[in-house]
Structure 1
């Protein structure tokens, strides 16, 4: 991570180096941790590996070419950090009445978001979020071909969506 430029980090993760470090701190990740196989990683390294894994549709073996860890170690690090984030922050996905969630997703804040969006020219007065979707092309399958075919882009693909 130290040998990468800010542009490299952004290209690999869609985060700047500063944002990666800030988010790592905000998630309250432990400064270092050991994988079950004994490898020691810093919070920033593990979070960086997670972001790389989520940002590109790639195999662990491909990431191992760029990072000084085996595919098994990368897998353990990514799984550990995902589990840590889920165990500590999943309430934000389920409980909008929690103190932290209500601070950011209060009725007042959502009204503010909707007003700002409407002021920019959106036709809806109560819109506070947008559906974002990504299509990742995949090779043509022998099984489940019909389910993976995307008529819009005329290709076989995996589709992701989020608000």
Structure 2
């Protein structure tokens, strides 16, 4: 009995020693974040942009020089932008970011959400409005020509439309609303239109995971924008190509879906399917750059702005494409717009 008591005492002493060590470690002030101490390779791994490009993107997004959070936490715009990128780039905990930024988990959370809201509120329209300078009729003609060069049979196709299912953590309530029966996951859905230069021209969502792609298309009202901005003065229309889930309209072309297809119809479907794959590449790039979005256990619908995460990550992916290109832009041989022209109002 004495041995057991002594063992318990040793265990308690060890626990007290461990707790006191942790408290002392927390009391020691951690070094503040300095981007200049990092190499280009480290910046690419941590933030997905090189060191010089971090300054360029931060300035192009008009992130304020000083950011003040609702709880009074203050940081520079560059540090806040780096916190946003680092948090989205990999599914790590806020505690894991403390050694890099020298801030508590609470401070990191406030700063992350503050910069996330800023980018979404100030630049979110870039993913909603098709009336953009880089989507001029002249550029649409170039997009269509690049698709034809890859053996696409359509002469007026300027992009590709598709929906994506983003799994989320199973919510505690209203689970049926977000359950996708096809993928068998609780999820949110987004709809993207991708151009041959690798840019997501339009993003709609989030919507409940149970909704059909055709419902997203109807709710997005994107065809109204295409009717207004993707029609020439002579009445010629430019179209986007989608899978069989979408309706056939003057601005949406879909594959032939008859029970018996002719040889030409099958050839059309095959050729358009070969070029439409680029929209899947774009979905993959967003998740490759910002893997935090692909960790569904931390995509908690009623606790986090899950939809905002994906929209901001898509916007940042477009910025990345403007600077570094993408698989899609290489495939079609088109350079993406410059960062300034893409972000230009």
Question: If the length of structure 1 is used for normalisation, what is the TM-score?
Answer: 0.71
Tell me what 2:145 maps to.
115
Counterpart residue number, 2:69: 35
State which of 79, 100, 117 in structure 2 corresponds to 1:66. 100
Please tell me the root mean square deviation across aligned C-alpha atoms, in Å.
Answer: 2.8
Distance in 2 (alpha carbons) for counterparts of 1:63 and 1:122: 47
Please state how far the C-alpha of 1:61 moved relative to its aligned partner: 1.1
SS of residue in 2 equivalent to 1:28 = coil
Deviations 1:105-159 (A, max 9, x none): 233323323434554x36465343433324767699xxxxxxxxxxxxxxxxxxx
Tell me the TM-score normalized by structure 2.
0.36
TM-superposed CA distance for 1:37, in Å, is 3.3
Q: How does 1:136-147 map to 2 (within 5 A)?
A: none
User: 1:62-113 deviations in whole A, cap 9, x for unaligned?
Assistant: 112322111111111111111111111122122222xxxx112233323323
Distance 1:63 1:91, change over 3 A: same
Following the alignment from structure 1 to structure 2, what is the Cα–Cα distance between the partners of residues 138 and 89?
A: 25
Q: 1:84 to 1:124 in 2, by over 3 A?
A: farther
User: Which stretches in structure 1 are left out of the alignment for 5+ residues?
Assistant: 141-159
Say which of 49, 58, 79 aligns to 1:45: 79
Structure-to-structure mapping, 1:9-158, within 5 angstroms: 9-97=43-131, 102-116=132-146, 118-119=148-149, 121=150, 123=152, 126=157, 127=159, 128-129=195-196, 130-131=279-280, 132-133=283-284, 134=287
SS of 1:2's equivalent in the other structure is: helix
What secondary structure does 2:36 align onto?
coil
Please say which of residues 46-55 and 32-41 is displaced more in the overlay: 32-41
CA contact (8 A) 2:91 2:295 kept: no
Greater mean alpha carbon deviation, residues 82-91 or residues 130-139: 130-139
CA distance in 2 between partners of 1:67 and 1:26 (Å): 23
Q: CA separation in 2, counterparts of 1:44 and 1:95?
A: 27
Deviation, structure 1 residue 21: 0.9
Q: Which has the larger radius of gyration?
A: 2
Q: Judge which range, 30-39 or 9-18, deviates more.
A: 30-39
Paired with 1:90 and 1:5, the residues of 2 have a C-alpha distance of: 31
Aligned residues: 139
Structure 2 spans left out of the alignment, 5+ residues: 1-34, 160-194, 197-278, 298-309, 319-345
